[in-house]
Each structure stands twice: as C-alpha cells, then as structure tokens.
Structure 1
Amino acid sequence: MTSSIAGLHHITAICGDPEQNRRFFAEVLGLRLVKKTVNFDDPGTCHLYYGDEVGTPGTVLTFFAFADAPAGQHGLGGASEIAFAVPSASLDFWQTRLAAYDIESGRQPRFDDEVLCFTGPHGNRFALVASEAAGRIDAWHDAPVAGEYAIRGLYGVSINVAELAPSAGVIEQVLGFERSAQAGDRVRFVAHDNPGPGAVLDVCVAPEMTAQRQGVGSVHHVAFRASDEAEQSALRKRLVDRGLQVTEAIDRQYFMSIYFREPGGVLFEIATDGPGFVVDEPVAQLGSGLMLPPQYENQRGLIERALGEIGS
C-alpha cells in the first residue's frame, strides 16, 4: 500500500473585498484570522489565512483578495465546494445563524453525512458537515461561536474532472488516499491515516461541464500535507516519475510548497506542516498586523497604502 499523506493542508480561494471577507469568515463563521500578508508572487494582492487558534494544517482556508476582479465560474479542472467539519447536532444552529445574516442554506444527505450547503458572500460554495469526529477536536476558546457548535477545521473538498481514472491514479497511488464510497458521479477518497481534519477528497466526474474560469468565488488551489521537506521531496519524485510537471520547492515562510496540476487540471500543492504561523507573530497576536516576507519589507509603506485597512 502506498503510504498516505495526512490529508489537506489548506485550500486557497479567491474573494473580492478583503474586509467583507474578514467580517464573514471571522465574525459569522467564527474562524480565526491567523495571518494577514500578501501573495508572495504578487505583493499588491492581499492574502488572508483563517484557521483554528494557531492555523493547524487541516484547518486553514486562505483567500487572495481581488476587489475589482470579475466573478469566476465553477467547472472542470477546479474545486467546486469547500467543506468544514462541525459537531453532530449543530446544523440547526448553523442554519439559523446563516439565515440571520441573510445567507440561504439547504440540507442534504451525502454518503453517511448530513450536510448544510450555502454560498458565501463572494460566490464561493461551502458545506458544513455534521461529524462525530469534529466534536472530539478542541475548539478555539476565543471563537465568537460557542464551542459546542464551532467549526473544527476542514472536512474536505470537492473537485470536478472529466475522467475519474487519471485523477484517481495520482490520488491513490501518489497521495495515498483510499477510495471509500461512490454515489452517482461523486467518488469519495479518504486519507486513511488521518483522525483529524481535512481527510476527505470528493471527485465529481462531470464531462459535460465547461472548464473552470478563475475569478472571485473560485478556488485557486488545493494543498495537501507533507510532514517535512524530506516527505515533500519524496512525493515530488513520485509525481515526476509519473510524468507530471512539478515545481521546485518554494519558500512560503510558513511552509515549503511544491505545485502541480493533477491529470484533471486541478492545481494541487503539497505544503510542509512547518514551520507554521508563529514564526513571525506570537500566538496571542496572530492576524493582528500585516506580516511581510523579508523581500518585501522595503516596500511596506507602498504595500500598506495599496491594501488599505483590514481588521483583525
């Protein structure tokens, strides 16, 4: 059996106004804003990270903010839905809470789960999944949502592809996920060694769909965990041996990253668990200031003026 990675590290999506984004994800969903920084490849673009108290891998959702960008389009070669894990019996609370903020939601069964689906303020699609395992994960004690209901991290993500077999080959034989269930055109893969958040990857086979168009409301990439740089390097070799084009390791300050497109066209990343988000801010102050990598510190004034004020 191929050794399994530990599941999802983070998911990065695209949003519009960053302050609207912060209000919804921090104040309505109750996630912690753990880092305000910039896209390291485009320092004029705000990059916001949300997660649990310290941004534990598997709990992290990030956004590139493009205030005036056009709306994206969900489709082939992209991720269509981001799912969070919440404790069992909490969906009534969440449906009421979302309605109070004029967010429509609807319940549906999915495999053995009960799922509450909704669309966020930028057009991104989300689901809250009632999970017994979520209740066993500690909640962030300062969250604006009571611990008995609070989001515990990512549950999983759904991607759209035209053919199952090529994508499944990478998911199973390189990343080490196991195929666990199928319902119609949705095939579920799980990281079998992961008792925590971010263990689920759903592959939706929909050859009739048009291609994803990047923009506000779309997912930019899906990141998986590597425990360290040695594991990341080994995974990179396995991907290259399968004929995939993979970047060299890139320093993202909070983790090291490699990127590749899986055969269905979805942009995947493999990110190391460390060093984590406390390398440049103490835990108590995470997300409170604009943190820049060293190469952009000499442009801080210009960047701050371009990004504007974002709360914490």
Structure 2
Amino acid sequence: MNLKPLKGQHHVSAITSNASRNYEFYTKVLGMRLVKKTVNQDDTSMYHLFYADERGNPGTDLTFFEIPRAGHTYYGTNSISTTSLRVPKDDSLQFWMRRFDEFDVEYEEIDQYSGRAMLHFKDFEGQRLALVSDEHNSGVAAGVPWEQSQIPIEHAIRGLGPVMLTVSNLKNTSQVITNIMGYREIGHYDMNGGQVTVFETGEGGTGAEIHIIERADLPKERPGRGSVHHVAFRVENEEELKLWAQYLKDARIPNSGFVERYYFKSLYFREPNGILFELATDGPGFEGDEPFETLGERLALPPYFENQRESIEAKLKPLDTKEL
C-alpha cells in the first residue's frame, strides 16, 4: 500500500481536573491561544479545551479533557511522560525562566538533549512539560503565535516539539513505530540515568520526533489529573486516513477505524505497551463554526451535537473564555 509518511505531531490530549485554572495557566502564563472550547465527543459532560497557535494549525495543539474528580497521577512506565513545546531560540528559555519565577511555576535548569536546549517544567497539576529551542532546528515548520498573546512574539510558543514516551519494552514499541508507522531511528542520548532513543518521520525536526526511554524498573503509570491521555500524529487528509485504516487492518493491529471529529478525522490504536495513538487529518480545522477573531470564546459543538446544546450546557460549569 502506497502510504505517505506521517507528517509529525498533530496534537497531544491530557487530563485536567479544573478547566478554569487550566485556562488561566495555558493562556495567561504560557500565552497560548484557546482556539476551541468544546466537549469530549465520547462524553459530552466534560469540556475539551484546545490551546494552540493563532488558529490551531496542525502540530500546535495541546488539548485537555476536564475530569473534575480525576485523582492524582502516579508517574510510571507505559506512558506519554513529557510533552514539549517549541520556542524560537535558546535565549527564549532565559525569558521563560524569569516568567516561571514570576508565576511560581516549578521548573528545572536548562539542559541539552539531542543537541537542543530544553527547559523542563510542570503545570499546577504536575503535567510534565518542556520548552525546546528551535534555534538549531530544521524540518517541519513551526506554527504562528497569536499576536494578542501576552508573550512577546520572539519568545512565544510555536507548536509541539518532541513527545517523550516511557515504556517497559522498547523493542515492541520501536517495531511498531518503524515497521508500521514508518519512523526512522536517528540517534540516542542519556537522560536521568537512562538512554533515550530518537525517532523521526517526514521532514523531521522537533515537530516530527518521538523520544522513547525504556524503564522496566518502574511500575505502570496510574493516570489522573496532570497525565496525558493520548498523542496524535498528522495525516494529510481523509483519503489518506482511510488508507491507514485499511493498512492497520491488514497488519492485524486492532484500531477504531475511521472516526468523525468534525474539526479533523481520526483513527485510534494502541502500541504494544498500551499507549494510545491517534492518527488525525490536517483539516478541516477550527474555523468551520467560529470566525478566526473569536475562536474559543463560545461553547462550540459539532453539528451532530447542536440539537443537544441545552442539555449539554446544563451539565457544564460555566467557563468564561472571552477575557485574557
């Protein structure tokens, strides 16, 4: 089957227990734009918030499901253990250290990994994040920061960088990533006493890498608030996604088949260590039901949920997203 290479990260979806505080942190502290306030289409009683660049270009979205009673995350293996966010240059990390001091954000010292400067930090729920410098990067283009952000453009977050997986069995995961998903193994580096293996796809670069560390000594992660639910990878269009669905079926990899998400089309499957992967199309995007100027200000519902708006809104705690 003549499949095109995956294009890199599409989005990362995580869990929060507090949509209001989550909105405050990701828009006011990190300066990302809320491009869509909607609901989890598999459980419309919970918010699904999308933070991204100016218009939610594919490869820039960090999303959150709100589960108010979500418990504490017990970190461990077989997890998406760090989500990185791209910033323009090494000096940007100095800016962000000062900002984190101002807002009392927990962070580590700047370090070098895989030839790039990185700054690891956590949000108010312990979500594991890192800022990665694009100063020496080439490959998949970055997004376009929102001009109305409180962060200067020269330091603003521009999209998703490498996603780190922690697994108990590297061989099983790497075989799926290379033999099925078409990634290339390109190198290694040491981190926290373990060796990280780097894989890339398509044009490569920070927006198209998966970093995997094997930790058979750790217990399996128990997810909760501050954990990552799944990572999605970019497929060009619906036609290509349907080819992937057939390809996975032929490879006898259990998967969801084609799923309509309105803002994009999706397909889900789990790699051998149980981490949930999604393939998602680059379009249609987030401007089909809201104009660019007011993205994220109202509760957006796909057309197939619109007749349920009154009952859906009744289950949600009001969340004011009109003011930064």
Could you tell me the TM-score, scaled by structure 2's length? Answer: 0.91
What amino acid is aligned across from residue 6 of structure 1 in structure 2? K
Structure 1 contact 2–174 (Cα < 8 Å) conserved: no
Instruction: Report the equivalent of 1:169.
Output: 175
In 2, distance between residues paired with 1:250 and 1:37? Answer: 17
Higher mean C-alpha deviation, range 6-15 or range 159-168: 159-168
Among candidates 165, 176, 201, match of residue 191 of structure 1? 201
Higher mean C-alpha deviation, range 160-169 or range 88-97: 160-169
What amino acid is aligned across from residue 199 of structure 2 in structure 1? F
Is 1:102 aligned to residue 104 of structure 2?
A: yes
Residue 198 of structure 1: how far off its partner (Å): 2.4
Residue 243 of structure 1: how far off its partner (Å): 2.3
Is 1:243 aligned to residue 245 of structure 2?
A: no
Aligned pairs, number:
311
In 2, distance between residues paired with 1:110 and 1:2? Answer: 31
Could you tell me the TM-score, scaled by structure 1's length? Answer: 0.94
Structure 2 contact 266–280 (Cα < 8 Å) conserved: yes
In 1, distance between residues paired with 2:85 and 2:320? Answer: 23
Structure 1 contact 255–271 (Cα < 8 Å) conserved: yes
Structure 2 contact 49–64 (Cα < 8 Å) conserved: yes
In 1, distance between residues paired with 2:246 and 2:179? Answer: 13
Q: Secondary structure at the match of 2:153?
A: coil
In 2, distance between residues paired with 1:154 and 1:136? Answer: 8
Instruction: Report the equivalent of 1:234.
Output: 243
Higher mean C-alpha deviation, range 203-212 or range 37-46: 203-212
In 1, distance between residues paired with 2:81 and 2:44? Answer: 27
After superposition, give the CA deviation of every residue in 1:263-293 in whole Å (9 maximum; x if it has no partner).
Answer: 1211000011111111111111110100112
Instruction: Report the equivalent of 1:153.
Output: 159
Residue 99 of structure 1: how far off its partner (Å): 1.2
In 2, distance between residues paired with 1:127 and 1:245? Answer: 32
In 1, distance between residues paired with 2:240 and 2:143? Answer: 26
- Identity, % of aligned positions: 39
Residue 221 of structure 1: how far off its partner (Å): 0.4
In 2, distance between residues paired with 1:25 and 1:137? Answer: 16
- Describe the shift of the 1:227–1:192 C-alpha distance in structure 2 as closer, same or farther (beyond 3 A): closer
Q: Secondary structure at the match of 2:100?
A: helix
Among candidates 281, 298, 301, match of residue 290 of structure 2? 281
Q: Secondary structure at the match of 1:180?
A: strand
Residue 136 of structure 1: how far off its partner (Å): 7.1
After superposition, give the CA deviation of every residue in 1:102-128 in whole Å (9 maximum; x if it has no partner).
Answer: 112112221201110111112110000
In 2, distance between residues paired with 1:42 and 1:98? Answer: 34
Instruction: Report the equivalent of 2:33.
Output: 32
5+ long unaligned stretches in structure 2: none
Among candidates 107, 114, 118, match of residue 117 of structure 2? 114
Is 1:75 aligned to residue 85 of structure 2?
A: no
Instruction: Report the equivalent of 1:255.
Output: 264
Q: Secondary structure at the match of 1:273?
A: strand
Higher mean C-alpha deviation, range 150-159 or range 168-177: 168-177
Q: Secondary structure at the match of 2:7?
A: coil
After superposition, give the CA deviation of every residue in 1:11-32 in whole Å (9 maximum; x if it has no partner).
Answer: 0000111010000001110100
Instruction: Report the equivalent of 1:22.
Output: 23
After superposition, give the CA deviation of every residue in 1:197-232 in whole Å (9 maximum; x if it has no partner).
Answer: 621111111111111222111100000011012211
Residue 137 of structure 1: how far off its partner (Å): 5.4
Q: Secondary structure at the match of 1:98?
A: helix
Structure 2 contact 173–271 (Cα < 8 Å) conserved: yes
Structure 2 contact 164–213 (Cα < 8 Å) conserved: yes
Residue 194 of structure 1: how far off its partner (Å): 4.5
